[in-house]
Structure formats: C-alpha cells, structure tokens
Structure 1
C-alpha cells in the first residue's frame, strides 16, 4: 500500500469509528498524519494536525525528565528521601519513601485518585471546587493526612499522588513554578512551540475542547470534570507533531545526557509479567522474549481526553494519537501500527 492508500485507509477508519482527534506517525522517511471530528462541536470547528489536545497522564514523562535533570545537576538523587526533599508534613507516610519509589509507582502513598477503586475522575470534584486546583500544592488537602495504601517498595500500583509529590519537590529545589520549569527546560528545548500547561478557563487558539457523551447521546465539555490547570501528574496540552519533536529531542540527547537518557528509559518494575509489560522512569514499555525493549508506550485518560503513543527504538518509529473524546485513540493507533 502506498502512502496515499494508507492515508485514505486511515481516513476511512477514523470516520468508521467516529474518531475525534488527530494522529501523526513517522517511520524512517515516511510520515502519515491526519485528523477528524470537531475541536469545538458548538461552532463546528474541525480538528487539525496543529490542534492542541490535552493528554492527561501522557505528560507524566515530562515530570520524570524534569527530575532526571535535577539528578543530573547533582541537586537530588533517585535515592533521596521524600522527607528530606520537601518541607511538608506527611504524618502517616513511610519515612523511607524515595524519589525512585515515586517515579516507579512503588511508594505505597495514598492515591487521591485510585484507579483500582474509582473509575470516574469527575466524581472528585463533586464536593471540591475544581476551579481551585491550579498548582501542585492545591492537591495537598486530598492526600496529606491520609494513611499509606500499601507498603513502600511494594509491587507496581499506578499512583497519581506520587507524581504530585515529585512536582512539589521540583518546585521546592528549583524555586520555580513546576509548569514554567517544564515548559522552559523541556518544551522549548525540544522545539514544542505549540505545547504548554494551559488553564481550561483561558485556553489559547487551536485548542480542542474535551467532550463526554451521556447515556442519552448528549455531548458536554469536560470543563467541570478536571482541574483547571494540569501539573505533575498530567494535564499538558500538545499537538501530535510536537510529540514527534519530543521523542526526536529525547533520543538525540537534547533533553538529557546520553547516560541519563538510558537511565530514564531502563525497565524498572514488572507491571504485567505474562505480557512482558514493564515500567521505567519514562513510563510503560513492552519487552521481547530476549528482554530487549520492543516499544515504549505512553497513554493518558481523563474525562473527554484519550491519548496513546508508541515509540519503537529499533526502527525509531513513533506514532502519536490524540483524541478529545473518551475513546478511540488506542483503536486508531493499532490501525496505524498494522499498516506501518
């Protein structure tokens, strides 16, 4: 199938699946890109390749890289303890929690949104105004005085609180706002000119609104379903092309040294043993039978947000899919993987 045939095939699949969003894929010198659906349903504004999309937890890798930069600069280490890095009282947290534990979701701290128990992020804001959540410190009342949910250094259990804590550490040791630090030290260096941590009540041009569909087929935006501004555990906005630029900059050692990049990308803990899925400081990855990394996997889910991405290190193939609805990114990504 030639390039035109692939693009036509993917256009058909987007329409068939009622996909709303954009994708960008690159393998060797071949690129595929496309979009479908509406960035704004009321005004019938189409999604485009340069539309900015929220990516939820797909931005945790930015927090991890920011931490790696501080380790590289000798300010902290992966063995640094939470209690020594942050001047905040956590009376029920284990004193042995390290930055390594927070990065790998093995700290055991109370997760303000435990996805094993809750399946609707929107419920968090029923009694807590989401418009007050604009910085990492605003999350503290949601977990500061809670007890541990597991032992430190336990098996992998996805944990959003751990990344809020990492963001608080970054702010304390750098004396800089977390989002400004990431935008300056990562986005700008990678040439991600269209990406940022935008406030939902003050979005820039070309930004897709997130949409949710109820049981009666009515659509509403996610304005009242998420914190106003994203932070260390998720919520950045990107274009699909900017994610391609991000991986190029990362793998060309523009963001971290070669040695630190390898530390970032190394598998650390088992997630699903039978599927060879591991987690490292950079996120999920799939290993082959020879324990070599087949692909890195990024994902993000929020009300009205759906993001999936893969990077194959052997071929340098990268596929990024952003959606401004609940579903669809994974299915389209699999279609792109199949034809590439």
Structure 2
C-alpha cells in the first residue's frame, strides 16, 4: 500500500512540476519507490538515471560534521576546543577568541558569513566581481570574510553560516593531514561504500554527472557553471547519487562512521532554529509533539536543489536530487504526505 502511494504521489508531482532529477525511498533495507526524470544534459538530451551524480550544495555540511567528530574521537580535537587557538588569530583579527568547534557546528559562532542569508538572496551575484573558477581550495574563500567584524557574541543565537563550515574544513585539513575533500572521500564515502560520490570540479566533471540548470520562465536555460564555486568543499558542493546518499544514512545510523555515543551527539538537537526546526551537528532535526519526526539535510544553489532525510518512526530514508534550482522540496512533500498517512492509520 505504501509503495503504491509513494510511486503515484512522486510520479504525479514530478509530471506536474517538470521535475528533473532522481528519487529513492527505502523502508528499512527494501526499496519503496524510485524514479528518474528529466535530463542530465539538456543539449544532448541525456536522461537522468537513478545512478546519476548530482551536486548536493549544503547537504554536504553533514559530511563535514562527521569528519570533525571523527577527529574528536581520535583525540585530535574537542567540541569545546577554541578554534582560533588551532588556526591563527592573525588570520582572523576581529574574530572572538571564544569561538569553539561546537559553535561552528551549530551555526552559533557569530562570525560573519561570505554569503549571509539574512541579508543576501542571490548566491550567483557573489561571482560577478570574484572569479568563481579560482575557488578550488578552502583557503580561497578566506578573503571574503576573514577580516570582517563579528555579527554577535558566540552562543547567543542561531545564524546559518557557510563560513563557519569553511573554518571547520580548515581544522580537518590541519589535523587530518590531507586536503579536506580527500579526507571525506577516504574516511566517509569509502567507509560507506559510496563509490560514485566525490568532490568534482565543474570544468572536469566525470561521466554520469548531471549538469545544473538555471531555467527561465520562458523555458530557456543556462548551465550553472558561472553561478557556483568551481569545486565544492566543507560548506557544500559534493556530488552524490541517490543510492549513495542512502548509504550515508545507513553508515551513520549503523555506527560505521562514529561510535554510538558520538553518533547520538551529532544527532542531538543542540540549538533551536525556528518553530519545529532544530540543528544538531551538520543536520537539521524536526520535532513534532516533542518527538523526533525526521533528521534531514538540504541544499540549494543555482541549478541545484537537494533533500534527504531519515524518519525514525517508520525507519524510512529518502533522497531527492534535482539539477534545477527548485524541485526537490515539492517531491519531498509528496513523500512525506504518504508517510504521514501511513502513520495515521
């Protein structure tokens, strides 16, 4: 019954909205629904497939949080470690010396962001005066925020912050002894069996990868190659497949990546964002009636929309990957409508 409802709802929503991407839903270890829609390459009319790679934008912050927690378990770091002590105060002259790893993980550090979502709404506008093709390493982002003043004192409120995750990535590089993207690919993706996922440059994408598209109201389009950094990093921009993303949830929840205690800490609602939404370490947490409804990650960039979640009450995981700027949210709503109806029966 659930499987039939899911397939019908997803198909109906995909057709109504012109969805371009892939969808995979599993209940336990069994696939409940899957589908692929639209084109990975519009010019060549190459269709999306279930195993197509898509950018996942800020959905990658979970990978960064896992990497940091691994270093904590190795004794190289602590959640209350002072970040500026480990990096270099001279590089961040106006940053508070009281900022901890926990503050960065929970978006409560108060540092300035290079893309402040409270005051900015066009990510692509960042690259009008900055060559996006030069942003290939974490250190390349530093001139965009490192000398700006603090927005508020650490721990006083939640403020979603990409720059904070850049700093976390720099900690991983310094203490992990390798480039951030190599660390994630070796210690997280490989450990979960995510063989098709990685951090790829837009000017050297591997096969079976979807181009990201900005689609205008008249149906014309451009790719997103001039609208996002050329290579992803600690604040977002990995490429994943839908099956690989569910392997990530399986690895995390099955304690393949972290100990049970550290896994629970990562999934703890550390800070309240708004209404039902809380934030753990790199993961959003939705509560309903005092219970955890879902753990989820999302990502939006020009030409990218991404949602993935685990629903503990039903043991269901879902991943929706889209190579348009919008689309994943509506499909996720269709999935949740089915799951909620089953819970009410």
TM norm structure 2: 0.95
Please state whether the residue corresponding to 2:91 is helix, strand or coil: coil
Partner of 2:336: 337
CA pair 213-76 structure 1, distance change in 2 beyond 3 A:
same
CA contact (8 A) 2:5 2:338 kept: no
Structure 1 residues 97-112: aligned runs within 5 Å? 97-112=99-114
- Superposed displacement of residue 276, structure 1: 2.2
Deviations 1:265-305 (A, max 9, x none): 11100101xx3211111321112323x32211210000000
1:336, 1:206 → 2: CA distance?
Answer: 26
CA pair 8-312 structure 1, distance change in 2 beyond 3 A:
closer
Partner of 1:279: 279
1:296, 1:127 → 2: CA distance?
Answer: 37
Please state whether the residue corresponding to 2:199 is helix, strand or coil: coil
2:83, 2:121 → 1: CA distance?
Answer: 28
Deviations 1:155-174 (A, max 9, x none): 10100000000001111112
Partner of 2:343: none
Partner of 1:295: 294
2:213 to 211, 215, 236: 211
CA contact (8 A) 2:22 2:320 kept: yes
2:243, 2:46 → 1: CA distance?
Answer: 20
Structure 1 residues 124-143: aligned runs within 5 Å? 124-143=126-145
- Gaps of at least 5 residues in structure 1 are none
* RMSD, matched Cα: 1.3
Partner of 1:34: 35
1:336, 1:312 → 2: CA distance?
Answer: 11
CA contact (8 A) 2:82 2:97 kept: yes
1:24, 1:181 → 2: CA distance?
Answer: 27
Deviations 1:170-205 (A, max 9, x none): 111122100000000000000001100000000001
2:324, 2:336 → 1: CA distance?
Answer: 21
- Superposed displacement of residue 123, structure 1: 0.6
Partner of 1:43: 44
Is 1:187 matched with 2:189? yes
1:153, 1:12 → 2: CA distance?
Answer: 44
2:100, 2:5 → 1: CA distance?
Answer: 51
Partner of 1:55: 56
Deviations 1:198-230 (A, max 9, x none): 000000011000000235432000000111100
| Aligned length, in residue pairs | 337
1:314, 1:163 → 2: CA distance?
Answer: 30
Partner of 2:177: 175
- Superposed displacement of residue 16, structure 1: 1.5
- Superposed displacement of residue 35, structure 1: 0.9
Structure 1 window deviating more from structure 2 (281-290 vs 122-131): it is 281-290
Please state whether the residue corresponding to 2:219 is helix, strand or coil: coil
2:298, 2:2 → 1: CA distance?
Answer: 29
- Misfit runs of 4+, over 4 Å: none
- Superposed displacement of residue 89, structure 1: 1.7
Partner of 1:160: 162
Please state whether the residue corresponding to 2:69 is helix, strand or coil: helix
2:229 to 216, 227, 230: 227
Please state whether the residue corresponding to 2:150 is helix, strand or coil: coil
2:66, 2:52 → 1: CA distance?
Answer: 25
- Superposed displacement of residue 3, structure 1: 3.6
Partner of 1:311: 310
CA contact (8 A) 2:63 2:188 kept: yes
1:51, 1:196 → 2: CA distance?
Answer: 12
- Superposed displacement of residue 30, structure 1: 4.4
Partner of 2:255: 253
Please state whether the residue corresponding to 2:318 is helix, strand or coil: strand
2:294, 2:179 → 1: CA distance?
Answer: 32
Deviations 1:229-282 (A, max 9, x none): 00000000000111111101111100001111011111100101xx32111113
- Superposed displacement of residue 36, structure 1: 0.4
2:44, 2:318 → 1: CA distance?
Answer: 29
TM norm structure 1: 0.96
Is 1:115 matched with 2:117? yes
